[in-house]
Amino acid sequence: MERHDDIREAVRRLCAEFPGPYWQALDRDRTYPTEFVAELTRQGWLSVLIPEEYGGAGLGIGAASAILEEIHRSGCNGGAAHAQMYVMGTLLKHGSAAQKAEYLPRVASGELRLQAFGVTEPTSGTDTTRLTTFARRDGDVYRVSGQKIWISRAEHSDLMILLVRTTSRDECDKSSDGMSVLLVDMREAVGKGLTIRPIRTMLNHATTELFFDDLEVPVANRLGEEGQGFRYILSGMNAERILIAAECIGDAKFFIDRASAYAKERSVFGRAIGENQGIQFPIARAHVQMSAAELMVHKAADLYDAGEPCGTEANMAKMLASEASWFAADTCIQTHGGFGFAEEYDIERKFRETRLYQVAPISTNLILSHVATHALGMPKSF
């Protein structure tokens, strides 16, 4: 019996309507899974974290994790829509009552897509405090200029949570001060100071580069206090890491299921390849690693849902799960021999997709650095 069995069963049924050939065609043309996202929205799966008073299901991160895990385990990809689940957390936690009442019910119903999250910049990289996209106050508006990179789903979102500087770094006491969060209405912004340029990558992820040239954003669209934005963004990252970790667990289960099934059925030298321990052991090891990572995902999710601090656990869950899914992916390819490379098996596509999660939304080295300094008290190296 797995956690959230009813949810898993329903999500599996939905995913069965979107089999391999659907994803293969999208992957070939790098197009967005519009029908899949529409169905997830229609069935209410993307609004489970929104409180009931705003029209969501008011469930916890454990339930949301089960949804994303099943999507990935089924061979689908939640990357096209997962941000609709958690990006709203910044609005929910730090928005005013008026902002929440205006946007959250429409995000919950799917009328508004809030799944773009603009943090990363080409020159600052992981060192977020060095971001330079600047919002200059001009009466009732901010005028935003600068550039973002790797902003996923920007072309498929109505709203974007955007982190900008409102005070330059050298004028701040602390480097993490002086940043603010703006809720940008993309429908009004595109062509009026915002240009979106898609980036073609090794996976179908609808990621883009954004150029801001004197884009006007009403001051009324700032979430929370001016200058506190970095803290607001950080506070949403645990949810993102736990949910991505759950996707990796789903990927790992997909690869392990496929590899063990193929090992039993493929016959070479007059016997099933799975009779050879050289084939069996890596698949068993992948299962062991995935199972351990899954426990950490559950631990992080339980702490999160209990309102306890969970930064280290969320980071560890993301690291362990992304490494477990990658090992399972590699093992699955090896088990399939040449067939692992054939598009129609979906394995090479999932292999490319799951590799992302050792880099984004946070790379492994940065997680190790967090654990070294926060959990083990070692000196900071940057």
Ligand X SMILES: Cc1cc2nc3c(=O)[nH]c(=O)nc-3n(C[C@H](O)[C@H](O)[C@H](O)COP(=O)(O)OP(=O)(O)OC[C@H]3O[C@@H](n4cnc5c(N)ncnc54)[C@H](O)[C@@H]3O)c2cc1C
**Residues within the interface to ligand X (CB under 6 A):** 117-120, 125-126, 150-152, 201, 205, 207, 356, 359-363, 365-366, 382
Q: Which is nearer to ligand X, 155 or 257 (CB)?
A: 155
Q: Which is nearer to ligand X, 15 or 151 (CB)?
A: 151
Residue with tokens 């500087």: 165
At its nearest, how many Å lie between ligand X and the CB of residue 382? 5
Q: Which is nearer to ligand X, 212 or 262 (CB)?
A: 212
At its nearest, how many Å lie between ligand X and the CB of residue 125? 3
Q: Which is nearer to ligand X, 241 or 298 (CB)?
A: 241
Q: Which is nearer to ligand X, 57 or 360 (CB)?
A: 360
At its nearest, how many Å lie between ligand X and the CB of residue 289? 21
Torsion of CA 214, 217, 222, 228, to 10 degrees: 0
At its nearest, how many Å lie between ligand X and the CB of residue 168? 20
Q: Which is nearer to ligand X, 117 or 345 (CB)?
A: 117
DSSP H stretches of helix in the chain = 5-16, 20-29, 34-42, 61-73, 82-86, 88-94, 97-109, 186-189, 229-265, 277-305, 311-336, 347-355, 364-370
Q: From CA 367, how far away is CA 110, in angstroms rounded? A: 33
Q: From CA 371, how far away is CA 382, in angstroms rounded? A: 14
Peptide bond into 361 cis (omega under 30): yes
In the chain, the amino acid numbered 115 is: Q
Q: From CA 258, how far away is CA 253, in angstroms rounded? A: 8
With CB atoms as reference, the residue minimizing the distance to ligand X is 125
Q: How many helices (H) and strands (E) does the chain have?
A: 13, 10
At its nearest, how many Å lie between ligand X and the CB of residue 120? 3
At its nearest, how many Å lie between ligand X and the CB of residue 347? 20
